[in-house]
């Protein structure tokens, strides 16, 4: 599953003890915010723990509500996401609720509508896209 159940947190906590830490700069509509994120932790969760609440809905890497866009270089591990396509990666979109940093990053947040349009252009699943033009 994309987001582990509340009954399975032990495994995640142990892994975090041996993980790398990265700096993630979030460009939010309210201004830039910098957080530290381990490579074992989802960016959304780390932001929340550090006082930055980002949009999200399903928390499973499906609905695209949490979408951000990577600016410059850097990669996000999206293996915990229920759906993430090469066409998402090509356009530098990231699902922060289930994405883990592989490097330092700068991410523009609140890109759900843009990511949904990209999905529609590529004829891919685009939750909450009724009425949106590609």
Partner 1 sequence: MPQERVVPPGDVTQRVGVEVIRARGVDVDKLIRMLIANAGAEFASTYYYYTILRMHLAGHEDYKEICEDARLEDRAHFELIVPRIYELGGELPNDLPAFHDQAGCRAAKLPDPPTAVNILTLLLESERCAIRSWIEICDMTFGKDPRTYDLAARILNEEIEHEAWFIELLAHERDGKSIPGGHFRRGEPGHAPYSKNASFYIGS
Contacts to partner 1 by CB under 8 A: 1-3, 5, 7, 57-60, 62-63, 82-83, 124-132
**In the complex, what is the shortest distance from the CB of residue 86 to partner 1, in angstroms, rounded to a whole number?**
17
Which lies closer to partner 1 via its Cβ, residue 28 or residue 129?
Answer: 129
Which lies closer to partner 1 via its Cβ, residue 7 or residue 86?
Answer: 7
Which lies closer to partner 1 via its Cβ, residue 73 or residue 130?
Answer: 130
Which lies closer to partner 1 via its Cβ, residue 50 or residue 122?
Answer: 122
- The pairing of beta strand 21-28 with beta strand 105-108: parallel
Give the residues across from 71 on adjacent strands.
Answer: 106
CA-wise closest residue to 107 among 40, 51, 52: 52
Interatomic CA distance for residues 24 and 34, integer angstroms: 6
**In the complex, what is the shortest distance from the CB of residue 116 to partner 1, in angstroms, rounded to a whole number?**
9
DSSP string covering 75-125: -EE-TTSS---HHHHHTTEEETTS-EESS-EEEE---HHHHHHHHHHTT--
At 48 the three-state DSSP class reads: helix
**In the complex, what is the shortest distance from the CB of residue 32 to partner 1, in angstroms, rounded to a whole number?**
27
């Amino acid at each position: 599953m994309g987001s582990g159940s509340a009954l399975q947190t032990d495994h995640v906590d142990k892994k975090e003890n041996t993980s790398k830490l990265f700096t993630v700069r979030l460009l939010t509509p309210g201004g830039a915010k910098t957080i530290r994120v381990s490579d074992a932790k989802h960016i959304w969760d780390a932001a929340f723990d550090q006082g930055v609440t980002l949009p999200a809905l399903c928390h499973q890497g499906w609905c695209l509500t949490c979408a951000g866009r990577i600016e410059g270089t850097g990669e996000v591990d999206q293996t915990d996401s229920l759906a993430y396509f090469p066409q998402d990666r090509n356009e530098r979109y990231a699902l922060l609720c289930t994405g883990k940093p592989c490097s330092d990053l700068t991410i523009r947040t609140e890109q759900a509508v843009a990511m949904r349009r990209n999905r529609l252009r590529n004829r891919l699943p685009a939750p909450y896209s009724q009425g949106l033009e590609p």
